[in-house]
Amino acid sequence: MASGSGTKNMDFRRKWDKDEYEQLAQKRLTEEREKKDGKPVQPPVKRELLRHRDYKVDLESKLGKTIVITKTTPQSEMGGYYCNVCDCVVKDSINFLDHINGKKHQRNLGMSMRVERSTLDQVKKRFEVNKKKMEEKQKDYDFEERMKELREEEEKARAYKKEKQKEKKRKAEEDLIFEDDDEMAAVMGFSGFGSSKKSH
């Protein structure tokens, strides 16, 4: 066996006080943040909840138009869609819609991407409003609209029948004229002017 085994303390590693070093790390982090910002750390900004847009997005005003762009043309008049909140130009309508519905644009407007939770009463009220709208539409359509549609359909059917009758009369008159010509030809001694019809 080895000499002097079991008599000496073999614990030669350094012991660390975890609580002390955790406090030092927190202190260092706060000092770095203060140096970086130049002011003490503040709580995060409270933003508004996401809400409906109160204006119509204009996607069609520049559709099909040509614009001459020079070096001195302002950015808002360049080709594409200009966002005056973020001061940027987006080249097509799909990306513009993505931009105005996106996080960066909403943040510049002062809104977070969180939506207000609706209460049960708000949902019930919305259902009632929508139900009233549907009932009003059905009442408006009701009897008078249906009668107008039926009258129009009847008039179209009558006009179609009249056209058919006129066509039949025209055909009957043309047949009579051809029969008279055949009789006249037979009287004069001609046999149908070379037609394949048999003479009477």
pLDDT in tens, 132-187: 988 887 766 667 777 888 899 999 999 999 999 999 888 888 777 766 666 777 77
**84 touches 76 (CB < 8 A):** yes
Cα 13 from Cα 64, distance rounded (Å): 78
Give CA–CA dist 19/25, Å, rounded. Answer: 10
pTM of the predicted structure, to 2 decimals: 0.42
Q: pLDDT tens digits, residue range 104-120?
A: 998 888 888 888 888 99
